[in-house]
């Protein structure tokens, strides 16, 4: 079985991330994660290691990276950086143990698979879930109504637009109620870009403020549960 994996690393402020896109007969699979490092080379080689760990046993695996240093380190198992050398040797040992015939190649970062891996690595570093390629995108703007205690919700998705007015309910103010409605209606795998003109609701959804009201805590718990259960990507602005 021949498998291709596209890998990338990302590093900023002493935090690294790795991303892996594996393509094969079972279809594309996406992986990402974080690590503590100041060296982007460490993140890059960690991505290769994670690809080898996740590839099918006994397969022929071609790993594609935009880092020439990563290719050299994995091919030789040697590097001046001790951590990169340790990871490169771990790649080689893991491939042998899993009976994987491993090849590592350098390609331009403009290759589509590497662009996906780059997005995954950045998301992993930030502790976010990366949107899947081709995922539907829904844009929503929530604005307070100038005359009533409600909000106007403008939604754009797939070329169509809707506008509706939502009031507070269930012990929630209108902006948070609108966010809850939007998450409840979202389809699996969707990217929901939510623009809120309510600083408090925005802070709640970003986890910057801890609510005291039980109804607000329950609503935020439901939003988190639905986002995770349906693999949604929620971006709050």
- How high is the pLDDT of residue 131? 65
Q: What is the mean pLDDT of the chain?
A: 91
All domains of the chain in start order, with CATH:
2-126 (3.30.420.10), 137-236 (3.30.420.10)
User: Taking residues 28-49, what's their average pLDDT?
Assistant: 94
Average pLDDT over residues 37-51: 96
pLDDT at 216 over 70: yes
Closest to 233 measured CA to CA, from 197, 183, 192, 195: 192
**105-164 pLDDT, tens per residue?**
999 989 999 999 999 999 889 887 766 666 678 899 999 888 888 999 999 887 678 888
- Between helix 68-76 and helix 40-54 the angle, nearest 10°, is 60
Task: State if pTM tops 0.85.
Answer: no
* Beta-ladder partners of 99: none
The pLDDT value recorded for residue 136 is: 78
């Amino acid at each position: 079985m021949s498998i291709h994996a596209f890998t990338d690393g990302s590093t900023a402020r002493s935090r690294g991330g790795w991303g892996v896109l594996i393509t094969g007969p079972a279809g594309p699979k996406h992986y990402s994660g974080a690590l503590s490092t100041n060296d982007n080379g460490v993140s890059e080689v960690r991505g290769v290691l994670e690809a080898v760990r996740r590839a099918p046993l006994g397969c022929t695996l071609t790993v594609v990276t935009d880092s020439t240093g990563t290719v050299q380190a994995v091919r030789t198992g040697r590097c001046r950086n001790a951590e990169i050398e340790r990871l490169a040797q771990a790649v080689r040992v893991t491939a042998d143990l899993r009976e994987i015939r491993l090849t590592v190649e350098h390609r331009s970062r403009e290759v589509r698979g590497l662009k996906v891996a780059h997005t995954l690595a950045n998301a992993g570093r930030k502790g976010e879930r990366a949107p899947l390629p081709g995922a539907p995108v829904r844009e929503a703007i929530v604005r307070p109504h100038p005359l009533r205690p409600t909000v106007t919700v403008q939604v754009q998705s797939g070329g169509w637009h809707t506008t509706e007015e939502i009031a507070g309910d269930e012990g929630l103010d209108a902006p948070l109620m609108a966010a809850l409605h939007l998450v409840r209606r979202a389809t699996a795998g969707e990217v929901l870009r939510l623009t809120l003109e309510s600083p408090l609701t925005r802070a709640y959804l970003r986890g910057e403020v801890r609510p005291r009201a039980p109804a607000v805590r329950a609503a935020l718990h439901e939003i988190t549960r639905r986002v995770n259960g349906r693999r949604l990507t929620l971006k709050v602005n």
